[in-house]
């Protein structure tokens, strides 16, 4: 005999089932949500599920939580006076969620007016997400501030695409990862506007500039440069890949939202097959590495962040990181040449 499988073991195993948690979200105490998700992520990671796949599971759970909060808000406030859509963007829009995430959401209204109703609805949903452990967006990109009728959203997106300011586009490019989660209003006009704008040279030029804003931490002779021994995986590794994938997918006329889906859409059209494959491999590796270290921090009761200690990585991880940084650097250099950027 090597061990005994008890009823407790089976219950714990079942508790790490994403479908079970998805069903429980409707009645789960909001204050327990972050802990439940972290335990689920821990179980999935321990079973060897790829980090990007775990990110999709977490995004699905967050979607379900938003739909619950929207439903509760409508029950308290009454039926919505006009059709609307609660949309998410950024990493939630791309379905690339990790343990450390903040809110990126907005409201799209079918008509102007009805300010009191939708302000109250936004406050209830954003407040519920706060109680569930999902902090406010530091840039203020939340439905409590970003709430426009569809024609105004179209005008805003077109302004960003037709006469983009580099710094403004750098801050607002996450809006182009939007995805509807709750509500009945169709976002198809907005999707068509983005695809149309993706063929405009001036927009792509500034989007290319934004894709070069975050450079991989490579110094002389291709050595990795750290900040006091640490690497910021979000800023130096994931953000540039996300931006490059967004650029080349739009250039290919693809409506894809996820980074890997965007790279697949660009492969062989606007990106070389080798370049797309190398960026995809780097994205999977860096996403998995960040999730691994976030889980370690959570297990130790430490603050969850995006920085990892370079010296703590294994030799194999260092080699993969170096190869990933080189892939980013090469694609950024070819992007600079393609769009005649300095």
pLDDT tens-digit readout, 78-102: 999 999 999 999 999 999 998 878 8
What pLDDT is recorded for position 229?
93
Q: What is the mean pLDDT of residues 322-336?
A: 96
Q: Pick from 241, 317, 253, 307: which is nearest to 52 by CA?
A: 241
What pLDDT is recorded for position 7?
56
Residue 109: strand, helix, or coil: strand
Q: Please tell me the pTM assigned to this model.
A: 0.92
pLDDT tens-digit readout, 176-189: 999 999 999 999 99
Count Cα neighbours of 313 within 13 Å in the Cβ-side half-sphere: 23
CA distances to 92, 150, 210 from 189, rounded to whole Å, are: 21, 8, 25
Strand 147-149 vs strand 105-109: parallel, antiparallel, or unpaired?
Answer: parallel
- Residue 12 predicted with pLDDT over 60: no
What pLDDT is recorded for position 11?
46
Q: What is the mean pLDDT of residues 39-58?
A: 92
- Residue 328 predicted with pLDDT over 70: yes
What pLDDT is recorded for position 21?
81
What pLDDT is recorded for position 228?
92
Q: Pick from 175, 168, 177, 128: which is nearest to 148 by CA?
A: 175
- Rg (C-alpha) for the chain, rounded Å, is 21
């Amino acid at each position: 005999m090597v061990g005994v499988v008890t009823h407790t073991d089976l219950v714990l195993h079942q508790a790490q089932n994403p479908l079970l948690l998805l069903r429980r979200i409707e009645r789960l105490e909001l204050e327990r949500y972050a802990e439940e998700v972290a335990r689920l992520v821990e179980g999935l990671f321990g079973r060897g599920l790829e980090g990007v796949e775990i990110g999709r599971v977490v995004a699905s759970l967050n979607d379900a939580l938003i739909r619950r909060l929207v439903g509760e808000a409508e029950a308290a406030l009454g039926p919505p006076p006009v059709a609307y859509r609660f949309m998410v963007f950024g990493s939630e829009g791309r379905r690339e969620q990790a343990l450390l995430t903040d809110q990126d959401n907005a409201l799209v209204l079918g008509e102007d007016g009805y300010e009191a109703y939708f302000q109250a609805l936004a406050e209830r949903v954003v407040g519920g997400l706060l109680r569930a452990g999902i902090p406010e967006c530091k840039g203020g990109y939340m439905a409590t501030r970003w709430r426009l009728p569809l024609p105004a959203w179209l005008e805003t997106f077109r302004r960003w695409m037709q006469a983009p300011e580099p710094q403004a586009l750098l801050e607002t490019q996450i809006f182009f990862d939007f995805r509807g989660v709750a509500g009945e209003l169709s976002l198809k006009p907005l999707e068509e506007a983005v695809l149309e704008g993706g063929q405009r040279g001036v927009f792509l030029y500034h989007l290319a500039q934004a894709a070069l804003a975050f450079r991989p931490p490579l110094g002389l002779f291709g050595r990795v440069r750290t900040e006091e021994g640490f690497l910021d995986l979000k800023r130096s590794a994931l953000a540039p890949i996300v931006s490059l994938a967004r650029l080349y997918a739009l250039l290919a006329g693809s409506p894809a939202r996820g980074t890997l889906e965007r790279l697949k859409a660009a492969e062989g059209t606007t990106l070389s097959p080798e370049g797309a494959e190398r960026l995809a491999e780097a994205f999977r590796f860096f996403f998995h590495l960040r999730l691994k270290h976030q889980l370690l921090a959570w297990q130790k009761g430490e603050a969850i962040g995006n920085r990892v200690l370079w010296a703590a990585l294994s030799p194999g991880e260092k080699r993969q990181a170096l190869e990933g940084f080189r892939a980013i650097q090469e694609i950024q250099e070819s992007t600079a040449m393609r769009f005649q950027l300095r």
